[in-house]
A and B are shown apart, each in its own frame.
Chain A
Amino acid sequence: MTTRYTITALVENRPGVLNRVVSIFRRPGLNLDSLTVGRTDRPEVSRMTMVLEGSKADAQHVKRELNRLIHVITVEDMNGTPYVTRDLALIKVKATPDTKSEILQMCGHYRARIADVAASSILIEIVGEEPDIEGLAALLKPFGIIEMVRAGVVAMGRAENILDTHCERSSWAEQRFPLEKAS
């Protein structure tokens, strides 16, 4: 049985780390449905959110192997804890004077923003959970989606479910990667 697993990780912000992480999924032929990486409040630490469509064993395997990587600081499987997810999509949809108001109405319903308006198209920006984005995309489809891009899912646990960022910078790290170089 396949489920969607949302796995978050804190990793060192260094060359090649993404490759190492992605290799864990590639080796047994697992597909990463979504992957986001970005810096945290600490420039030397990046945070990744990975969405895996797979079995429980797949998720356990990924978590185990990620933990073995030297550059991976913390790994959490978010399933089973309360958490918030957000994805962002840009959707360029065909629009004529006849359809424009209907499209704008739908966007209002989904709290989507209009990022750009052109003569024959509207560029819509939506932030929300994946079902919101997929719901709006489905509604817009009959009007003609010209192109669509998604940023990928980011996730964060609610309240006390914190991915620990409190590892102190060691004296070794201070020597090896002076901060002005890391940033």
Chain B
Amino acid sequence: MELTGAEIVWECLIQEGVDLVFGYPGGAILPAYDALSSYPQIHHVLTRHEQGATHMADGYARATGKVGVAMATSGPGATNLVTGLGTAMLDSSPVVCITGQVPTSVIGHNAFQEADITGVTLPITKHNYLVTSVEELAFSIREAFYIARSGRPGPVLIDLPKDVQTARTDFHYPTGEINLPGYRPVPEAPEDKIGHARKLIRSAERPVILAGRGVLLSGAVDELREFAERTQTPVGLTLLGKGCFPEDHPLCLGMMGMHGAGHANHAVQEADLLVALGMRFDDRVTGNLTTYAPKARKVHIDIDPSEIDKNVVVDVGIAGDLKQTLSVLLSEIEPIEHGDWVERIRRWRDESEDRELLNQVLQSPELKAAEVVHDLWTLTGGKAITVTDVGQHQMWVAQYYAHSPEHALITSGGMGTMGFGLPGGIGASMGRPDDEVWVVAGDGGFQMTLAELATAVQERVNVKIALVNNGYLGMVRQWQELFYEKRYNATPMVSPDFCALAAAYGIPAVRVTERDQIEPAVRQAQACDDGPFLIEFVVEQHDVVFPMVPAGSDLHDMIRRPKSESAHEKEIQS
């Protein structure tokens, strides 16, 4: 069957199981858009900015486990994808972006709306393609999906010159196993190393499991739980790992790292064995590497061999699929008790409880973001998909919303992309329309991509937006308070009347300023099932996320919340 390149694009997407594409048309991608009307199986979502399209594809991918697809034109359309690609790259999210390009005859001539997008995105994609002939198009698309979703997932970009879209060729979708000589997505975990890891696990007295997003990606949730319970090993979570281990489990330490739980960080620093599973020892997790877990032997299992010994040099590094490796490892692990160690951690945990904001009698009447997130968690029964933006509210969601495998946290962890929340949430909601989806965003990040409110309205996306407004770029302000002698340069922020703004988009909205207003507002949002709903939570302006390990400091060197609120006030004033 002879088809144009434009038709081949849609045929291939259908073959890959795609039924939803987020994008923004323009000159160089117009042939592809023109052919779209012949493919009613594919629903195209017009975003308000190409960055929104990549975040939506990313949010969709994270919520469904399928590949998210974004489409844009050449030049500025393509460069607007960059932040979204970087975000997907650092969080291992399977996204395929298709960009228009100027015709092959003028590539390199600075033609109108030309950008060297394969050059630009080379370091922030798992792989990319410049398709120079229509004959290779179907192969490139099939490879792109394969690379995006296999092994450690990641974004792939396909750059498609206009003349390739209009050229014709005989089309048949390439079948058979894809075998790329330089790409081994799932390395075979060596038996001897698994054996070595077992020995370390058997002889450990103070073990801690560090669990990351790889547990979710590999589907190793059950194996992780079995491992933790059989060996009575406490589990610390990374930000993106939230959801891979039940947070109400007695062995769960909660999140580790810069804003991790105090007891989680103490446990890591005192451990004699770390078993790192599907995580990459990010600097936000480790703090100062030279003093990180100094007493611990380290076992690291990850699907990406390049992560082994990268940030932390380990005793046993195993590159392999986590689910498979853990089940082999567990086949010869007998039950172990670590009563003294668990008891010791409990004492650290008690201290965390003493310092816990929600356990204190608050003196200021202002609403706390922690209360907002906590109540949102209880009112949704922990069964909502939470998609955050980046900043203080993100850390409060990590601390006060307990996640589960079916409703894991969706957030820009590695890249820390402000503006991810709203489009990410729209993508997540469109991928899982039957789930309750909450976007939690700050007033800063929300304003970076709020144009996508119109997308949510046009598509009648049932996304609920919890806008946590503290009138500042809160996390930057927090750094200024703690490390820059309270010089609040460029962080106070004037915002529009968000409820009026929502009304302009035709979105129902309410403003909440007191804790007892939270429940009725959330209930109202939950009752709304025909498009977005926005709640603006006006919260205390100078709140601080505790604990905090200053960047580059030792992990145990945490700035903690004082044990009582009055003492905290005193310290702030002094």
Contact = CB atoms under 8 A, between A and B. Distances in A.
A161 interface: no
Given A70-B183, A170-B179, A175-B176, A60 B309 contact: yes
Given A19-B122, A64-B310, A67-B306, A172 B182 contact: no
Given A70-B147, A73-B181, A176 B174 contact: yes
Contacts of B118: 16
Q: How large is the interface on A (under 10, 10 to 19, 20 to 34, 35 or more residues)?
A: 20 to 34
Contacts of B179: 170-173
Contacts of A19: 119, 122
B130 A176 contact: no
A9 B453 CA distance: 49
Nearest to B127: A70
B306 A16 contact: no
Contact of A69 (B119, B176, B178, B182): B182
Interface in A23-73: 23, 27, 45, 60, 64-65, 67-73
Interface string B93-123: 0000000000000000000000000110011
Interface in A12-26: 12, 15-16, 19-20, 23
Contacts of A71: 182
Contact of A172 (B126, B130, B176, B305): B176
B136 interface: yes
B352 to A, nearest CB: 36
A56 to B, nearest CB: 12
Interface in B289-304: 304
Interface string B121-147: 011001100101000100100000001
Q: How large is the interface on B (under 10, 10 to 19, 20 to 34, 35 or more residues)?
A: 20 to 34
A175 B306 CA distance: 30
Contacts of B174: 172, 175-176
A172 to B, nearest CB: 5
A20 B181 CA distance: 16
A175 B182 contact: no
Contact of B178 (A27, A65, A67, A172): A172
Nearest to B118: A16
Contacts of B310: 64
A162 interface: no
Contacts of B192: none
Interface string B165-183: 0000000001011111111
A72 B136 contact: no
Contacts of B180: 70, 170, 172
Contact of A171 (B122, B139, B176): B176
A45 B136 CA distance: 19
B323 to A, nearest CB: 22
Contacts of A12: 181-182
Nearest to A27: B123
Q: Which of A11, A65, A68 has the most CB of B within 10 A?
A: A68
A149 B305 CA distance: 39
Nearest to B143: A176
B182 A171 contact: no
Given A16-B130, A19-B122, A27-B123, A176 B139 contact: yes
B122 A11 contact: no
A3 B376 CA distance: 57
A1 interface: no
A11 B181 CA distance: 9
B181 A173 contact: yes
Contact of B139 (A67, A68, A74, A175): A175
Contacts of A159: none
A167 interface: yes
Contacts of A173: 179, 181
A19 B130 CA distance: 13
B177 A171 contact: yes
A21 to B, nearest CB: 11
A67 B305 contact: yes
A27 B123 CA distance: 9
Given A16-B130, A176-B139, A176-B174, A72 B123 contact: no
Nearest to B177: A172
A74 B184 CA distance: 11
Contacts of B127: 70
Given A27-B123, A171-B177, A175-B174, A64 B182 contact: no
B306 A65 contact: yes
B389 to A, nearest CB: 28
A27 B119 CA distance: 13
A173 B181 CA distance: 9
A51 to B, nearest CB: 22
A173 B183 CA distance: 13
Nearest to B147: A70
Nearest to B178: A172
B528 to A, nearest CB: 45
Contacts of B181: 12, 45, 73, 167, 170, 173
A11 B176 contact: no
Interface string B71-111: 00000000000000000000000000000000000000000
A176 B126 CA distance: 20
Contacts of B176: 171-172, 175
A137 B306 CA distance: 40
Nearest to A170: B179
Nearest to A169: B181
A145 B470 CA distance: 70
A58 B130 CA distance: 30
A40 B174 CA distance: 28
Contacts of B178: 172
B357 to A, nearest CB: 41
21 contacts: A11-B182, A12-B182, A23-B122, A64-B305, A64-B310, A68-B306, A70-B127, A70-B182, A72-B182, A73-B181, A170-B180, A170-B181, A171-B177, A172-B178, A172-B179, A172-B180, A173-B181, A175-B139, A175-B174, A175-B176, A176-B174
Given A67-B306, A175-B139, 18 more contacts: A11-B182, A12-B181, A12-B182, A15-B130, A16-B118, A16-B130, A23-B123, A64-B310, A68-B304, A68-B306, A70-B147, A70-B180, A73-B182, A170-B177, A172-B176, A172-B177, A173-B181, A176-B136
- Which 3 pairs from chain A and chain B are nearest by CB? A170-B179, A64-B306, A73-B182
Interface of A: 11-12, 15-16, 19-20, 23, 27, 45, 60, 64-65, 67-74, 167, 170-173, 175-176
